[in-house]
Amino acid sequence: MSNIPEDLKYVKSHEWVKIEGDVATIGITDFAQSELGDVVYVDLPEVGRVLQAGDIFGSVESVKTVSDVYAPVAGTVVEVNAALGAQSELINSDPYGAGFMLKLKVADASAADSLLDAAAYAAEIS
Amino acid sequence: MSNTLGFRTKRMPEPRLIFEQSNKGRIGCNVPVADTPEVNLAAILGETRSDLNLPEIGELELLRHFTRLSHINYGIETGFYPLGSCTMKYNPKINEKTAGLPGFANLHPMQPVATIPGALEILVGVQDMLKEITGFDEITLQPLAGAHGEMTCLMLIKAYFESRGEGKQRHVVLVPDSAHGTNPASAARCGYDVKPIPTTEEGNTDMEALAAALDGSVAALMLTNPSTLGLFEPNIEKICEMVHAAGGQVFCDGANMNAMVGTTRPGDHGFDCMHLNLHKTFSTPHGGGGPGCGAIGLKSHLEPFLPGPVIRHEGETVIADSDRPQSIGRVSGFYGQFLMEVRAYTYLRAYGKQKMADISRFSVLNANYVRARLKEVLPPAHDRPCMHECILTAEKYKKENGIRALDISKRLIDYGFHPPTNYFPLIVPECFMIEPTETETKETLDEFCDALIEICREAVETPDLLHDAPSTQIVGRLDETLAVKNLNVRWLPTSV
């Protein structure tokens, strides 16, 4: 079974988001990494890029396929996970922790409120 | 397990690279003494390398090396090759016989056109037959592969809109989410913005989403029919009408033409252009045995933009017309892969018009037979008759037994079969795409289905057999992740 932490918010395109203050941390879900298989390359945006909710911010390449990844909320990129450059497998081993993809500074911290909660996302992938 | 492995269980020394067999001073052939003056290369080229590290090896060792490699190879002439979307049909030997005729094989690409009327007859003959099969007004045989054909079609569409002053306005290409990855790649390569169109649960194009996406910015819809789900798009005529009403063009990805040959024609469905893979549908060699041919068909409004030279009838003769002011220019050197056209011509003439529909009928029958026989162990993604390929899912083994489609595929190798396509189309979880083609017998299909049924039993009872597969081959389970992350394809000398 997929691990779906209760304290995160989710979108149907299989990204998770965690809002702390005005910073949103974003990655792909355990279900997504499991479907993709071993991740071999991650394409991430430049720091400073402005994203709208639903924008493609990068891509994840696995041995099976290349998938675009989408911003669950709007914001400005303040940090990307540089460790993924050399260790893309962190997305497989720790998708909600060391395998996060980027951090956005969000204007509206309540933007994630309307996204899926853990139960709704679990229903989505069942 | 059935004893189907045959010669591949033969004991054989571990294969070594030809470079590793090299021994300084050993030679495989005697080069005649040159009767032309010696040339000093360094004087002409400047600095030259002396450390080329080319293998030095005798003729017998060379022969053994390549014979050994050929024995561990697997091809359509070794066994069943149900790689979905690839149409791995048998390529009749008569194709090779005609392509080897000295009059064709010895033509020089720089030969004046006036000296090759026979070759022009072949080209125009293939074009005429493909026109009749697809329902298009024009054919060019120039593109060198399927994706090259796709891109050429998009270049024609782009030139068409530019000629109408709509080039800037129409910058979007719509591509279903079930499409081959080459579709969005070709569109992006032509400078278009790609927008995905979702597929419905029934496996058809989502008509509402399509309607919502169609506006004045759309240059084209790229649609594969039958789709990569192995399903014929029931709304195809309506879809073409909708795109045309919005001023766009409709391209047919012809990767799946094998399901339609002699039965129905994309030109009649309303498409403006399409590509064909002669190396799939029309039995020219495939993959490493290529080169390919991505011939394209188009309606007359796109004709002015065709890459030149255009081979066409003029009165009683055939000419190569290079006077094409609106042409997109050449898309390949010379005129594509001529000997592939000889092979396709041979195939088409050997079948003949009357039997052409047997290709699609038997390919569809074979796919439905496999689908029906495997229904209980590997359910189809969509519960309706398929076309030339069936999409089955192994999702339940993943959920219940921790066995993925990949594990089942690797186990099939132990049973002596080439695995089907895995994990494509992307919208079906843990999927197999099985395309038996029309050239396989019921006995072969039964052996393959029996093997898969047995493997699915193993998946439940002895899953470790699958995790470790293949275990009967010269190499075991390869580490695909390592191969991608640490790509190493160049031999380097350990000592010189």
pLDDT range class, residue A109, cuts 50, 70, 90: confident
Instruction: Tell me the residue type at B46.
Output: G
Is the per-residue pLDDT at A1 higher than 80?
Answer: no
Report the SS3 class of residue A89.
Answer: coil
pLDDT range class, residue B5, cuts 50, 70, 90: very low
* Mean local confidence (pLDDT), B117-134: 97
Give the chain A residue nearest B485 (alpha carbons).
A40
* Mean local confidence (pLDDT), A50-78: 94
pLDDT range class, residue B47, cuts 50, 70, 90: confident
CB contact under 8 A, B423 and A40: no
Q: Are B442 and B369 in contact (CB under 8 A)?
A: yes
* Residue B456 pLDDT: 98
CATH number at B355-484: 3.90.1150.10
Nearest in space to B127 (alpha carbons), one of B350, B272, B310: B310
CB contact under 8 A, A40 and B484: yes
* CA–CA gap between residue B254 and residue B101 (Å, rounded): 30
Is the per-residue pLDDT at B335 higher than 70?
Answer: yes
Is the per-residue pLDDT at B203 higher than 50?
Answer: yes
Average pLDDT, chain B: 93
Is the per-residue pLDDT at B266 higher than 80?
Answer: yes
Average pLDDT, chain A: 94
Residues composing chain A: 126
* Mean local confidence (pLDDT), B81-98: 95
* Mean local confidence (pLDDT), B227-248: 97
pLDDT range class, residue B1, cuts 50, 70, 90: very low
CATH number at A9-108: 2.40.50.100
Is the per-residue pLDDT at B10 higher than 70?
Answer: no
More confident: B212 or B70? B212
CB contact under 8 A, B429 and A40: no
More confident: B132 or B487? B132
Is the per-residue pLDDT at B6 higher than 60?
Answer: no
pLDDT digits (tens, 9 = 90+) for B343-388: 999 999 999 999 999 999 999 999 999 999 999 999 999 999 999 9
Q: Which CATH number fits domain B95-350: 3.40.640.10, 3.30.479.10, 3.20.20.150, 3.40.930.10?
A: 3.40.640.10
* Residue B9 pLDDT: 47
More confident: B149 or A1? B149
- CB proximity A12 to B under 8 Å: no
Best of B178, B481, B482, B486 to mutate (most A CBs within 10 Å, chain A) = B481
* Mean local confidence (pLDDT), B217-244: 97
pLDDT digits (tens, 9 = 90+) for B393-416: 999 999 999 999 999 999 999 999
* Residue B204 pLDDT: 97
* ipTM of predicted complex: 0.78
| B489 DSSP 8-state letter | -
Which helix (H) or strand (E) is B312 found in, with range? strand B310-314
Taking phi over 0 as left and psi of -120 to 50 as alpha, with beta for the rest, B110 belongs to alpha
Contacts with B466 (C-beta within 8 Å, 6 or more apart), sequence order: B403, B407, B408, B410, B411, B455, B458, B459
Give the chain A residue nearest B402 (alpha carbons).
A1
Q: Are B447 and B455 in contact (CB under 8 A)?
A: no
Distance from CA of A119 to the nearest CA of B (A): 19
Where are chain B's structural domains? 95-350, 355-484
Q: Are B408 and B400 in contact (CB under 8 A)?
A: no
Give the chain A residue nearest B395 (alpha carbons).
A35
CB contact under 8 A, A64 and B423: yes
* Mean local confidence (pLDDT), B177-194: 95
* Mean local confidence (pLDDT), B275-299: 90
**Percent of chain B whose predicted confidence (pLDDT) is above 70:** 96
> For residue A124, which residues of chain B lie inside 8 Å, CB to CB?
none
Whether a cis peptide bond, with omega within 30° of 0, leads into B117 is no
* CA–CA gap between residue B104 and residue B308 (Å, rounded): 22
Q: Are A11 and A42 in contact (CB under 8 A)?
A: no
* Residue B4 pLDDT: 45
Distances from the Cα of B28 to the Cα of A51, B13, B62, B70, angstroms: 63, 22, 8, 20
More confident: A14 or B489? A14
Distance from CA of B381 to the nearest CA of A (A): 16
> For residue A88, which residues of chain B lie inside 8 Å, CB to CB?
485
**Partners of B432 in beta bridges:** B392, B422
Backbone angles phi and psi of B179, in degrees to 5 = -70, 160
Is the per-residue pLDDT at B2 higher than 70?
Answer: no
* Residue B286 pLDDT: 83
pTM of the predicted model as reported, rounded to 2 decimal places: 0.89
Q: Are B81 and B418 in contact (CB under 8 A)?
A: yes
E strand intervals along B331-407: 390-393
pLDDT range class, residue B483, cuts 50, 70, 90: confident
Contacts with B436 (C-beta within 8 Å, 6 or more apart), sequence order: B80, B82, B363, B366, B367, B369, B370, B389, B445, B448
> For residue B429, which residues of chain A lie inside 8 Å, CB to CB?
35
* CA–CA gap between residue B332 and residue B329 (Å, rounded): 9
> For residue B484, which residues of chain A lie inside 8 Å, CB to CB?
40-41, 63
Q: Are A55 and A49 in contact (CB under 8 A)?
A: no
HEC per residue, B42-103: HHHHCCCCCCCCCCCCCHHHHHHHHHHHHHCCCCCCCCCCCECCCCCCCCCHHHHHHHCCHH
* Residue B13 pLDDT: 66
Where are chain A's structural domains? 9-108
Residue B432 CA to its chain's centroid (Å): 17
> For residue A41, which residues of chain B lie inside 8 Å, CB to CB?
484
* Mean local confidence (pLDDT), B259-272: 97
* Residue B491 pLDDT: 85
